[in-house]
Amino acid sequence: MVTSPNPLLGSAPPERARPAARKAVRARSRAVSEGARHDAAPRVSLYDEVTGRIVAELEAGRIPWVQPWDAATFAPGLPQNADTRRSYSGINILILWAEAARQGFSAQGWLTFRQALAAGGAVRKGEKGATIFYAARFTPQAANGGGAAAGGGGGASHSGGGGSGSGAQGGGGNGAAGDGSVPFLKRFTVFNVAQCENLPDRCTLSGAPLPPRETIPHAEALIAATGADIRNGGHEAYYSPGGDFVALPPQQAFAAQIDYYRTALHELGHWTGHPSRLDRDQKGGFASQAYGREELCAELASAFLCAALGIRPTVRHADYIGAWLAIMRADTRAIFHAASLASKAADYLLAFAPESAGGQPVPAGATPRIGRGDVQGMGAAA
């Protein structure tokens, strides 16, 4: 019998090759085990790490999803992949806003290390990137006979691709879907364009902020285009799930009139949760966990919409910080889930914008349907 050379062991006779083969197998086994241990180490900390940072901000009285508009150098808007111009979503918005504020970056553009190189530039030596997350689902071998991963799940999505991915976070035993797939997170590192050099203009140019003004025509047009039943009058702001309408005080009642739009977008965030739209759970009573989660979702949706529309609201909502902290301390994944739902709500509303891709054109002179609310007493936006 002729024995063909073994590409791993060379042409040594089989009886002499066996010890070397066993040694190679053991070495590969050790490498795989060590790699598995290395990958598994951060698994319990990904959700904790991000939620911990947000909890620390809230405990310090800072709301991380309200952009620091007072910083003159900070450009309004959603963070984007500077190469693809796709906006980041979900938890990644909060991470990149916080990182830009902490580092004093004026731009909202971000790139992976490889994207910077592909664009003809480079990340400056010594710069440290921001870790963001991409949610995907994995089907174990027992469920599909071979195992496969599919990206795009959840709101913590990484826009633009381009590499720099590392690590994986298992979704836990209670996250399996009906098809047997299990959610997990992947880490990606991105760098602000201010941390790069020699990038082409297309990667560094940012839109000019809107001039300060109390009436914002494109925000009015978006609100009108939704077709939502907006009832201006009275002294409270809220969404009525049963009546499917939004009640708002008149704009003149706001200490800062620009906050009329922030409040309107917050309530429209609730409006998207109606069963005929995105169908979220809105049955929780006041001060319940379900109520707090829906409030967090609507608040984040308002923040994302304000950023997308270039609206600069004042900071409020300190009255809800305690409830948000309780939710996040009880469940470190709550902020991920809320940010994902908020991104979906914001995208749903932005689809109505006259100039958005797939948006619905607004008829000339269209205005929101106006009614007279019969509510009394001044309260926080619900």
Inform me whether the pLDDT recorded for 17 exceeds 90. no
Q: How confident is the model at residue 74 (pLDDT cuts 50, 70, 90)?
A: low
Span 245-274, pLDDT tens digits: 999 988 877 777 888 999 999 999 999 999
Inform me whether the pLDDT recorded for 13 exceeds 50. no
Q: How far apart are CA 91 and CA 96, in angstroms?
A: 9
Q: How far apart are CA 172 and CA 177, in angstroms?
A: 11
Average pLDDT over residues 152-158: 39
Span 313-367, pLDDT tens digits: 665 555 577 778 888 999 999 999 999 999 999 999 999 988 643 333 333 333 2
Average pLDDT over residues 105-127: 94
Q: How far apart are CA 89 and CA 197, in angstroms?
A: 26
Span 20-66, pLDDT tens digits: 545 544 554 444 344 434 444 444 457 788 888 888 888 877 777 76
| Domain ranges within the chain, ordered by starting residue | 77-204, 217-350
Span 205-249, pLDDT tens digits: 665 554 444 678 999 999 999 999 999 877 788 999 999 999 998
Inform me whether the pLDDT recorded for 88 exceeds 90. yes
Of these ranges, 66-75, 191-200, 366-375, the one predicted with the greatest mean pLDDT is: 191-200
Structure-model confidence comparison of residues 131 and 288, the more confident one: 131
Q: Which of 87-96, 138-147, 153-162 has the lowest mean pLDDT?
A: 153-162
Per-residue confidence (pLDDT) for residue 363, from 0 to 100: 35
Average pLDDT over residues 101-111: 85
Per-residue confidence (pLDDT) for residue 138, from 0 to 100: 76
For the whole model, what pTM was predicted? 0.62
Q: How confident is the model at residue 301 (pLDDT cuts 50, 70, 90)?
A: very high
Per-residue confidence (pLDDT) for residue 140, from 0 to 100: 74
Span 165-205, pLDDT tens digits: 555 555 444 455 566 777 778 898 999 999 999 999 989 86
Three-state DSSP string of the chain: CCCCCECCCECCCHHHHHHHHHHHHHHHHHHHHHHHHHHHCCHHHHHHHHHHHHHHHHHCCCCCCCCCCCCCCCCCCCCEECCCCCECCCHHHHHHHHHHHHHCCCCCEEECHHHHHHCCCEECCCCCCEEEEEEEEEECHHHHCCCEEEECCCCCCCCCCCCCEEEEEECCHHHCCCCCCEEEEEEEEEEEHHHEECCCHHHHCCCCCCCCCCCCHHHHHHHHHHCCEEEECCCCCEEECCCCEEEECCHHHCCCCCHHHHHHHHHHHHHCCCCCCCCCCCCCCCCCHHHHHHHHHHHHHHHHHHHHHCCCCCCCCHHHHHHHHHHHHHCCCHHHHHHHHHHHHHHHHHCCCCCCCCCCCCCCCCCCECCCCCCCCCCCCC
Indicate the length of the chain as a whole number: 382
Phi and psi angles of residue 172, each rounded to the nearest 5 degrees, phi first: 95, 160
